[in-house]
Each structure stands twice: as C-alpha cells, then as structure tokens.
Structure 1
Amino acid sequence: MKARLTFSVNDLAETRFAVSPMWEVVTSFRALAAAAVPDLHLGWADQVRPRLAAAGLDRGWLADMIPPAGHLPDFLNPAPTSASPGLAGELAAIEATAPDQVRRDLDVLAAEREGRLSSRLRSLHRTPETYLPRIVAEIDVYWRLAIAPYWGRIRSVLEADVFYRGRQVAEHSTAQALDELHHTVRWVDGSLHLAQRHCAITRIETGAGLLLVPSVFAWPRVLTRTAASEPPQLAYPARGIGTLWERRTHAHMDALAAVIGRSRALILAELDSPASTTELAHRSGLSAAGVSQHLTALRAAGLTSTHRAGRSVLYARTELADALLTAQT
C-alpha cells in the first residue's frame, strides 16, 4: 500500500522531532511478540523475557492489544508534547484518552481478528475509563523491567539521531532530511510518499505538521499514527541501532579502579547489561553481600541506578559511569 502526505508551508513549519518513551514501549513489545525477534535485539529479549513472564506481562493487557503485525492502538501513542517527554506525562495522556478513541481502536483490532476480541478487551470496550488505569499500571511495570534499565543507552541513540537530522535540516533542507529517513519514505514535489502497508495517511484525516519519532525497536519498519486533531506521527528506525547492544570497551578501567577500587570498577564493567545482585555476584566472582555493599556506594556516587518492579531489582550503569569507563584521552 502506498500513501501520500501533502505539505503546505505551514505543515513544514510545524514539522518536528521528538523522542517518545511510549513508542519504545509499544515497538519493543511488538518485537517480543513476533515469531522471531530481530537478531539485533535477541540479547535484550533473552534478558527481559524471563522477567516479563515472572510478572505475568506475557499474558496481560499489552499482550492482548499489541499484535506481532497489524494495527497498533493509536491511544497507546499520544502525541509527544515536547522534544523529550517523560513516561509519566505520556501515561497520563493515555489514562485521559476519550472513550470513543479507545473504542475506535478496539473496533479496528476486532475487524482484523474477524470480530474476535478477548474478554479483557471487550470489557475495555464497554467501559474504557474503568480499565485505562490498569493498562497504565501494567505499562509502568513493563517499563521498569524491559526499558528503564536500558534507557540511558537507548536514549543516547535516539538523541544522536535527532541531532543528526536537525543538522541535515540546517545544512541542507527539511526535504532532504525527510527523503533520507527510510528507504520506504520519499519526498517528491511537496509530498511525503510512504510505500508500506498500514501507512494510509492523508491530510484530510490528520492535523497539521508532522511528528518524526526515531525508534530503536521499530526497525526495520516505519510505523504511523494518525488522529484528526493531531499531527501525524511517523516512527522510523534510528541511526546507529546496529551498535546499541554492543559490549563497550572500557579504556579507563585501570585508571578508574585506582580511584574507586578494583571491585567497584569490575562491577561497573559487568553492568554492560543490567543485572540483579545475584547475577552480578556470579559474573564478578564476588560475594552477594560484597556486591550489595559496593552497589550502595556506587549508587550514592551517581554511578548506578536501580529499577524495581515487585520483587525484581535490577541495577544499571548511569551515563556518568559510561563516560568514566569509555572516556577517550
């Protein structure tokens, strides 16, 4: 299917980029729901799937609403109100979704599923205001388990993409930046052409402007979202995602160890992927009690962060710790 989105001068003036936590939630859950997770994200999927299963999220609201292919409920991706909104603001927007919008999205899902919706989604269709808070609560748990421990790394890729696209606009033109977003997207004679299924967009059915949202989990597709009162959204694969999960070299490991101690430097190095205290003890060869003490000190220094959901507590390296370990001389 091909789509054509025409642009006026005003539309171009209102075109902007944004980094959206909810787009990463929706696209990452879709990646996990696929028959085969993209090779790029296999390591991440192997880490998070057991956590999600333990929390019951593999059979919850998101599992009912986000299929591996086809329509994604638009109300899960409210238009970002700033260049980098927080998850809390997006969750508030979801909880405030008008009932008619929820029902329209569920009607599309039902049509794709030959009229069949789960009992959970039928309840949501009847009284959206009753169940939206439960959906928001589940998204928050999913974020804590699957995205938050990796958010610093993900956000760095997304922000680098926005910086690159902004430089393209400044040095060349908005048209060139749009033309180079993805191989299925082309700028021709004042219109954006999208050659992909589920991209049926026209100016008649959308608001003004365009919201461009880089995503690490949308790859290799471009996804769209439309609402009559809002600018259309286009989520596209961010540049640099091929290096997202690469293990980083720690050029300053010895120098850092001289300052904070070898055990704490080792723990930071092992946090290339988030882990629990038990996992870190296994990786580092240190006792669980010792790891716990070191993590407390590292957190107080702003070098680690904790991410709790139920009984699960994961530790992740902060961007400050990344900078100390990988700084170039």
Structure 2
Amino acid sequence: MPLTLSLSPDDLTRCRFAISPLCQTHEALRMLRRSGRHGYHRAWLRRVAPTVAGLDLAPLWLFIPPAGGYTPDFLGAPPEEPYPSFEDELARLRATDLDRARTEMARSLACTPGLTESPRGRAALDDPAGTVRRLADLTEQAWQTLLAPDWPRHRAVLEADIAHRSRQAADGGLDALLADLHPGIDWTDGSLTLPLLGDPAEAQRADGRGILLMPSVFVWPDVVSGFARPWQPTVIYPARGMGEFNTTPVPRPSEALARLLGRQRAALLAGLGTPASTTDLARRHGLAPSTVSAHLSVLREAGLLGSRRQGHHVLYGRTPLGDALVDGT
C-alpha cells in the first residue's frame, strides 16, 4: 500500500542525508532473515555464512518477520545527526522509552499469527527492559562481527551515493534528486509517493521537519519508509554502486610495489587498469575520498597517472610508466 507525503516548502528546504551504522546493521539482519527472496547479495551472504552460524540471533528474529512485516522502529531509528557513530546510536537504542518499546514490539509480534500469545512473545512483552537490553546486546554483536570489519568500504559506497545525489540536486534541483531515488518512488506536484508495508495510518507524516534520505547497501530491491511517530519521515533507498561492493575484489598489488609506494598508493595504482574517478576509487578501496585524492595527487606528480575530465568527473588512469611499474617491467 503506498504512502503519499505532501511536502511543504519547509520540508523541501530541510531535506537531508544521513549515514547510520545502526540502520545498516538492521538492514543487514533483515537481508539475512529474508535471504531466500533474491540472490543479489549472494556473495555477501556466502562470505558471512560461517560467522552467522556462530551467532544466536533468535531473539532478534522474533521481531524481524520473515515475510516482510513490521520491525520495531527503535531497533534502527532514524539518526538525529548526519554521521553518527555506532556507539552513540547503540546508546540511544539502550535508552529507548519502555512504553514505546513495548508498543512497537507488540505491533511487530502481531505480524505473525500466534506469536504474541506464544511463550517467547509473552516473555518479551512482560519484561520490556530486559528485552531491549538483549536486543541491544545482539545488535552490538551483529555490528562487530558482520559490518564493522568492512565498514570503511560500506561507508565509502554510501558517501559516494550521497555525493552523486548532491550533484544531481546542484545540477537539476530537488526535482532531479527526488525523481531518481528509486523506480518505486513517484515524485509529482510536490508529493512523494512511496511503497509501504503496513498501515499508512501508523506512518509519520510530513510536518515541516523535512525528509531524511538514507542510502543503504542492503535494502535492495525495496524502499523502507513510514517510520511511526515521533520519528522524522525517512526514506531508506538502495545505494548506487552497491553491486560493486559485493562483486569487485580489492586490488592486491605486488609486495615489491607495496614496499615502494606504500600499500594504499600501490593498491590504487594497481587497480587503475581502467580509468576511474576519485569517488569510484574511494568506494572500491574503502577509503575516504580525501585520502584517495591525496594519494592520486602524489601518483600524478610522480608521472604514474594521468587525468582527464569527463562530464562532472575527473577520471584517472595509469601512464605507460605506471603500467610498467605495476607490471614489474
């Protein structure tokens, strides 16, 4: 059932982006819970399978319905800051108001017939403080084992998406940005229409606070929207370049080249068999764009790279000297 948000001028001027490690963790958990739906993340699923086998996620699965029902908002609440740390978000989860937690958990359990009256469902609702504590502990464990080791690469993909969307807004205004977020999102005459699982009456409405836009590596092929009151209206959409995260290996330069140039610069040079932009390289190598830019400048000054402009991007490629150095000739 669709959710239509009529955006006022105040909403449009307050649209913002954010990257949330907590939300990414719970999108990853939803992906694990519903992995049979499609194979897009098959490579990631294979990679984490041994780790997942050692985790007892049953208390979390209780509140992540496999058929796509409601997951309590407090588990992955929209962040208040653009780039919060996982530690700050986890502290916010642990401090969830218990009445709100119980209400949201009851709504989630009701998505699965009989679960509310089951021994596990009753125990969770009878002790909301203990349940929130256990869910927070499991969320922290999932973050540390499933996402934290790869977080620089995740974040690079998300930052690259935000940079692309920001360029869209700069070139074509918010119309260009909102119309291109996802095929399932319609932007017409000031109204944003989103796919929604559940009752639209429960969803937060646009109220002048703006729309929070969050790219995600794991949400594909869906869009997540409709956080309930009091959360800010939020759209979690698939990030551009997430396929590259799952399928493109990090280039491995020779040990000799790494000793000569340093491992990061050597990896960047080795990975430039075809020209790429700073943003692409940051995403591919899991580095901050500023770090990549600094390394590229050094490599270019040394005569190992050349650059050319293509549209709004500057593409970097190896020179013959760079090729010879990578090939060891």
| Residues 124-139 of structure 1: pairs in structure 2 closer than 5 A | 124-139=124-139
DSSP 3-state at the match of 1:112 = coil
| Distance in 1 of aligned mates of 2:56 and 2:252 | 40
Deviation at 1:188, TM superposition (A): 0.9
Deviation of 1:83 after TM superposition, in Å, equals 1.4
Counterpart residue type for residue 138 of structure 1: L
Identity within the alignment, %: 33
Question: What is the SS of the residue equivalent to 2:235?
Answer: strand
CA contact (8 A) 2:161 2:215 kept: yes
Pairing of 1:270-281 with structure 2 (within 5 A) = none
Deviations 1:174-199 (A, max 9, x none): 12211110011111111101245448
Which amino acid in the other structure matches residue 140 of structure 1?
Answer: E
Question: Which residue number in structure 2 is paired with residue 81 of structure 1?
Answer: 80
- Contact kept in structure 2, 1:4 and 1:201, CA below 8 Å: no
- Aligned position for 1:272: none
Structure 2 residue matching 1:226: 3-state secondary structure: coil
> Letter of the aligned partner of 1:116 in structure 2?
L
Change (3 A) 1:243 1:201: farther
Asked whether the equivalents of residues 65 and 112 of structure 2 are also in contact (C-alpha less than 8 Å), the reply is no
- Give a deviation string over 1:214-273, Cα, whole Å, max 9, x none: 001000100114232331111000111121122336374365344389xx99xx99xxxx
The AA in structure 2 aligned to 1:165 is R
Aligned-partner Cα distance in 2 for 1:256–1:201: 60
Cα gap change, 1:196 to 1:183, in 2 (>3 Å): farther
Do the aligned residues in 1 keep the contact of 2:109 with 2:121 (CA within 8 Å)?
no
Pick closer, same or farther for the CA change 1:201–1:231 going to 2, 3 Å.
Answer: farther
TM-score, normalised on structure 1? 0.74
- Tell me the distance in 1 between the aligned counterparts of 2:156 and 2:130: 36
Structure-to-structure mapping, 1:189-228, within 5 angstroms: 189-198=189-198, 200=200, 205=205, 207=207, 208-228=209-229
Query: AA paired with 1:143?
Result: W
Choose 135-144 or 187-196, whichever is displaced more.
Answer: 187-196
Over the residues paired in the alignment, what is the CA RMSD in angstroms? 3.1
Q: Secondary structure at the match of 2:62?
A: helix
2:247 is matched with 246
Unpaired runs of 5+ in structure 2? 269-284, 300-315, 319-329
Equivalent residues of 2:204, 2:228 under 8 A apart: no
Corresponding letter in the other structure for 2:236 = A
**Equivalences, count:** 276
Q: Verify the 8 A CA contact 2:2 2:195 in the aligned structure 1.
A: yes
Distance 1:72 1:53 in 2: 22
Report the 3-state secondary structure (helix = DSSP H, G, I; strand = E; otherwise coil) of the residue aligned with 2:249: coil
Asked if 1 retains the 8 angstrom alpha-carbon contact of 2:157 and 2:241, the reply is: yes
Alignment partners' CA distance in 1, 2:182 and 2:74: 25
1:156-305 matches, cutoff 5 A:
156-198=156-198, 200=200, 205=205, 207=207, 208-248=209-249, 250=251, 252-253=253-254, 256-259=257-260
The aligned counterpart of 2:287 is 319
1:101–1:152 distance in 2 versus 1, CA, 3 Å: same
Contact kept? 1:99, 1:127, Cα under 8 Å: no
Tell me the amino acid that sits aligned with residue 24 of structure 1.
Answer: Q
The 5 A counterparts of 1:114-125 are 114-117=113-116, 119-125=119-125
Q: Report the counterpart of residue 15 of structure 1 in structure 2.
A: 15
- For 1:314, the equivalent position in structure 2 comes to none
CA distance in 2 between partners of 1:31 and 1:204 (Å): 24
Query: CA deviation digits over 1:20-43, x for unaligned, max 9?
Result: 112211111111112516323112
Residue 225 to residue 126, structure 1, CA distance change in 2 (3 Å): farther
Match of 1:94 in 2: 93
Q: Is the 8 A contact 1:201 1:226 kept in 2?
A: no
Please state how far the C-alpha of 1:65 moved relative to its aligned partner.
Answer: 1.4
* Paired letter, 1:232: P
With over 3 angstroms needed to count, the CA separation of the structure-2 counterparts of 1:70 and 1:202, relative to structure 1, is closer
Q: 1:159: Cα distance to partner?
A: 0.6
C-alpha distance 75-151 of structure 1, shift in aligned 2 (>3 A): same
Q: 1:205 to 1:119 in 2, by over 3 A?
A: farther
CA distance 1:64–1:248, change in 2 (3 Å) = same
Distance in 2, matches of 1:198 and 1:109, equals 11
For the 8 Å contact 1:182–1:236, the answer to whether it is kept is yes
How big is each residue's C-alpha offset from its partner over 1:58-101, in whole Å with a ceiling of 9 and x where there is no partner? x3x22221123111211112221221111111111111111122
The aligned counterpart of 1:36 is: 36
Query: For the Cα contact (< 8 Å) 1:19–1:83, is it kept in 2?
Result: yes
For 1:18, the aligned partner's letter is A
Verify the 8 A CA contact 2:211 2:234 in the aligned structure 1: yes
| Shift, 1:169, TM fit | 1.4
